[in-house]
């Protein structure tokens, strides 16, 4: 058994010690003791699960002990599979989600998301947001009069691969420093059910609904204009400039 897969002899010894500590921390609670031990050893730096471990400066859990002392958190060394109870719960949740999706058409889900976004966006209505369709070449022509705050080098703006509808991730790059800042071309709108859509997509969907068209018509229109994913929100460009870009510190020489 020792050494097979990730359950090494050293880890078996550690598990034995953890069980001893967990038994003392969870008297008359065997399931709680098991969960505390398994969640502890299956934790990772990205997903720590030490809620069931004892807290305080004298805790046997190094993670919680460091938290109590305000010290740097120790790295997680073990990568055992999750606790069986957690796997079963995840499987049940996944099955319930699949059944929910199967009982609702894709069109209905999109309409519900749009309705939820519209209901939750009363305080930050996209109607108050202005957009402009602009060529990135024109934007970079304007950026010739600004410089990188760090090194004074030239900067330019480009679009990343990340696109959600008409919203695209914009990237400011310095010729010397490389990538220095990024922002979405459209602000998000506060929504419900963890849905925070982009304003430009809500406005586009409303426009299509108002004219009796669907998303396909919207895609065709912008595709014909060659701007299918290039909606640019002016305020976001201004935010980029304020973060890492300063105005040119010396006068621009007139063209001869």
How many C-alpha atoms does 17 have within 13 Å on its Cβ side?
Answer: 9
Please compute the mean of the pLDDT values over residues 226-237 and round it to a whole number: 47
**Would residue 3 count as lying in a domain?**
no
Three-state DSSP class for residue 220: helix
Look up the pTM and report it.
0.38
**Would residue 95 count as lying in a domain?**
no
Which range of residues forms the domain containing residue 37? Answer: 9-86
Least confident stretch, 145-154, 158-167, 210-219: 210-219
Are 58 and 160 contained in the same domain? no
CA 173 remoteness from chain centre: 21
Are 73 and 124 contained in the same domain? no
Are 173 and 234 contained in the same domain? yes
Number of domains in the chain: 2
User: By C-alpha distance, which of 110, 111, 119 is closest to 190?
Assistant: 119
**Would residue 229 count as lying in a domain?**
yes
Three-state DSSP class for residue 175: coil
Q: What is the mean pLDDT of the chain?
A: 68
Are 72 and 121 contained in the same domain? no
CA 81 remoteness from chain centre: 25
Residue 146 and residue 140: Cα distance in Å, rounded? Answer: 10
At 21, the pLDDT band (50, 70, 90 cuts) reads low
Asked if the model's pLDDT at residue 74 lies above 80, the reply is yes
**Among 86, 104, 136, which residue terminates a domain?**
86
User: By C-alpha distance, which of 73, 60, 66 is closest to 17?
Assistant: 60
**Would residue 30 count as lying in a domain?**
yes
Three-state DSSP class for residue 228: coil
Strand-pairing partners, residue 4, are 7
Are 194 and 122 contained in the same domain? yes
DSSP string, 94-111: HHHHHHHHHTS-HHHHHH
Q: Give me the helix-helix angle, 9-25 and 30-41, nearest 10°.
A: 140
Are 127 and 234 contained in the same domain? yes
């Amino acid at each position: 058994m020792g050494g097979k897969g990730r359950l090494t002899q050293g880890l078996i010894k550690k598990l034995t010690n953890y069980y001893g500590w967990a038994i003392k921390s969870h008297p008359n609670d065997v399931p709680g003791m098991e969960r505390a031990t398994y969640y502890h050893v299956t934790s990772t730096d990205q997903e720590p699960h030490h809620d069931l471990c004892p807290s305080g400066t004298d805790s046997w859990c190094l993670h919680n002990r460091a938290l109590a002392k305000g010290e740097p958190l120790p790295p997680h060394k073990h990568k055992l599979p999750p606790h069986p109870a957690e796997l079963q719960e995840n499987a049940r949740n996944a099955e319930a989600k699949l059944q929910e999706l199967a009982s609702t058409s894709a069109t209905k889900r999109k309409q519900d998301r749009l309705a939820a976004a519209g209901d939750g966006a009363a305080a930050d209505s996209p109607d108050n947001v202005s957009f402009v369709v602009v060529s990135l070449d024109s934007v970079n022509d304007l950026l010739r009069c600004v410089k990188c705050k760090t090194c004074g080098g030239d900067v330019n703006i480009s679009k990343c691969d990340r696109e959600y509808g008409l919203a695209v991730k914009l990237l400011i790059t310095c010729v010397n420093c490389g990538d220095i800042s990024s922002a979405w071309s459209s602000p998000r709108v506060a929504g419900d059910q963890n849905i925070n859509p982009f304003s430009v997509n809500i406005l586009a969907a409303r426009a299509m609904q108002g004219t009796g068209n669907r998303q396909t018509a919207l895609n065709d229109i912008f595709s014909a204009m060659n701007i299918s994913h290039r909606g640019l929100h002016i305020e976001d460009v201004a935010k980029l400039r304020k973060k890492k870009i300063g105005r040119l510190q010396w006068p621009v020489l007139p063209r001869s």
